[in-house]
Amino acid sequence: MKIPEYFKKKANLSVEAERIVQTAFTREEFPKGHFLFKRDEICRHIYFIEQGIARIFYYSDSGKDVTAWFFQEDSFLTAIDSFYYNKPTFEYCELLENSTVHSITYTDFEHLLDTHNEFGKLGFHVIHDMARQMIDYIFNLKFQTAEDKYNALLLNYPTIVQRVSLGHIASYLGITQETLSRIRSGK
Amino acid sequence: MKIPEYFKKKANLSVEAERIVQTAFTREEFPKGHFLFKRDEICRHIYFIEQGIARIFYYSDSGKDVTAWFFQEDSFLTAIDSFYYNKPTFEYCELLENSTVHSITYTDFEHLLDTHNEFGKLGFHVIHDMARQMIDYIFNLKFQTAEDKYNALLLNYPTIVQRVSLGHIASYLGITQETLSRIRSGK
DNA sequence: TCCTTTTTTTGATATAGATCAAAAGTTTTG
DNA sequence: CAAAACTTTTGATCTATATCAAAAAAAGGA
């Protein structure tokens, strides 16, 4: 979905507001493997996935590649603390497929919030969505067996399981790939 | 901190905006043990803790009391999915001390967002704060030993450790109270 | 198509932390 | 202040999942 369409679905935008959104966001296509941001950079953008799939990951203390999040179509992403506090991030954001992405700088986004109260509610809804996702994730992570966590993912985000490699899914769930492979094989 | 003070610290509110905030929120005192909301209720409020400490918890499938979050002074809380989608929550929110709490209904809150663009940015910041907390939490939960998780809590929220019972802390960290007790005893 | 690289599977072993049980300590309350 | 009701500690045992290692399978490139 394109940005104005998405926003229209979430709130009743005036014609003018729609035009403003149109110009505030930049639409770009990137190949699989492209990084939206990398460790040590300051992330100044909010991104919206029109088409494709992105993965945010980091390297743990022991040097292991750990997936923090996946983002599919119609979702917003950013390096939350980095873009808010203007400090370097420790995460990477990698596109796992050729993707179409919309982006806006934090400055421009704040400007929208300041000048049009239609966007205040919208901004709130967007972050709210992110927060809900996180709560679900935490719920599934805690006091659940590896198998329960995998089944919950399968139930709630079946398309991720189809689009993403086993190793990435395993680290997203906080389990090893060997364990996930054994779960899948049903043994 | 009182609500207008808090908001003044976060954004430059006009005198009028400040007055609106003052009247939109209700300030109340509750004794230790009071529930702000309970399972099966629809949570229609956003709460702000001026003084005290709250715990959100739920009963797991196996009937175990699991702490999801703690909230101390100057933080906002709500049953995110319930208040947003107007559906019953599965969580409880219990005050662990005599507390002073400000509250606003979601309807009034949305009204603020609609009518004053100063609040759009503020609402965004508030939820943003919640999101950051969650990210930290997830980071500490995943691929960390029980001891690492406890040490991270001790480092980032030392006051919680002082104010809250061992059992509540253990389930917050996703470990058993026996394990936490052993960690504390240093064995 | 073959060769290289990456991903997944399988096997053997080790271990952190769960579970169960009960004692010790602390707080609440009538 | 004594009894009851929690909370924390300690001990013994068990188990899910990590770790290490290597084979098998799949994907990507020349």
Ordered DSSP codes for chain A: --HHHHHHHHS---HHHHHHHHHHSEEEEE-TT-EEE-TTS---EEEEEEES-EEEEEE-TTS-EEEEEEE-TTEEE--HHHHHHT---S-EEEESS-EEEEEEEHHHHHHHHHH-HHHHHHHHHHHHHHHHHHHHHHHHHTT--HHHHHHHHHHH-HHHHHHS-HHHHHHHHTS-HHHHHHHHHT-
Report the candidate in A54, A44, A58 with the shortest Cα–Cα distance to residue A103.
A44
Choose between A12 and B110: higher pLDDT: B110
Residue B139 in contact with partner chain A when CB distance is under 8 A: yes
pLDDT tens digits, A158-182:
999 999 999 999 999 999 999 999 9
Distance from CA of A60 to the nearest CA of B (A): 9
Q: Are A54 and A95 in contact (CB under 8 A)?
A: yes
User: Considering only CA atoms, which of B2, B13, B10 is closest in space to residue B118?
Assistant: B13
Burial code of A5-37, b = ≥16 C-beta within 10 A, e = fewer? ebbeeeeebeeebeebbeebbeeeebeeebebb
Between helices A15-24 and A106-115, what is the axis angle to 10°?
170
Distance in angstroms: CA A96, C1' D27: 15
The better pLDDT of the pair A1, B55 is held by B55
Q: Under DSSP, is residue B96 helix (H, G, I), strand (E, B) or coil?
A: coil
> Regarding beta strands B35-37 and B26-30, do their DSSP bridges make them parallel or antiparallel, or are they unpaired?
unpaired
User: pLDDT digits over B129-161, tens only?
Assistant: 888 889 999 999 888 999 999 999 999 999 999
Say whether B124 and A121 touch across the interface (CB within 8 A).
Answer: no
> Exposure pattern of B149-180 as b/e (b: 16+ CB <10 Å)?
bbebbeeebeebeebbeeebbbbbbbbeeeeb
Instruction: Report the SS3 class of residue B26.
Output: strand
Is A10 within 8 Å of A81 (Cβ atoms)?
no
Band of residue A157 on the pLDDT scale cut at 50, 70, 90: very high
CA dihedral for B119, B125, B131, B134, sign (positive or negative): negative
Least confident of A105-109, A154-158, B113-117: B113-117
Q: Over chain A, what is the mean pLDDT? A: 90
Q: How would residue B11 be classed by pLDDT, with cut points 50, 70 and 90?
A: confident
Q: What is the mean pLDDT of residues A19-38?
A: 92
CB A119 within 8 A of CB B120: yes
The nt closest to B176 (CA vs C1′) is C18
C-alpha span between B138 and A135 (Å, rounded): 10
In angstroms, the separation between the Cα of residue A110 and the nearest Cα of chain B is 7
Higher pLDDT, B113 or A103: A103
Task: Work out the minimum CA distance from B149 to partner chain A, whole angstroms.
Answer: 13
The owner of tokens 């953008």 is A45
> Which one of A84, A123, A139 has the shortest CB-CB distance to B120?
A123
- Identify nearest nucleotide to residue B173 by CA to C1′ distance: C17
Checking each nucleotide's C1' against the CA of B185, the nearest proves to be D9
**A124 C-beta neighbours (distance < 10 Å), count:** 24
Q: Is the distance between the Cβ of A179 and the closest atom of strand D smaller than 7 Å?
A: yes
Burial of B109 (0-12, 13-18, 19+ CB in 10 A): buried
Give the whole-angstrom CA distance, residue B76 versus residue B90: 19
pLDDT band for position A187 (cuts 50, 70, 90): low
Radius of gyration of chain A (CA): 18
pLDDT for residue A18 is more than 90: no
Give yes or no for a contact between B133 and B160, defined as CB atoms under 8 angstroms apart. Answer: no
pTM of full prediction above 0.85: yes
Average pLDDT over residues B85-114: 91
- The whole-number pLDDT of residue B56 equals 96
Strand C bases near protein CB (under 7 Å) are 7-12, 16-21
Distance (Å) from CA B32 to C1' C30? 21
A108 CB near a chain B CB, below 8 Å? no
Which positions 158-187 on chain B have a beta carbon less than 7 angstroms from any atom of strand D?
Answer: 165-167, 177-178, 180-182, 184-185, 187
Please state, in angstroms and rounded to a whole number, the distance separating the CA atoms of residues A139 and A104.
31
pLDDT-derived band of residue B187, with 50, 70 and 90 as boundaries?
A: low
pLDDT of residue A176: 97
* Interface contact A11, partner B, CB < 8 A: no
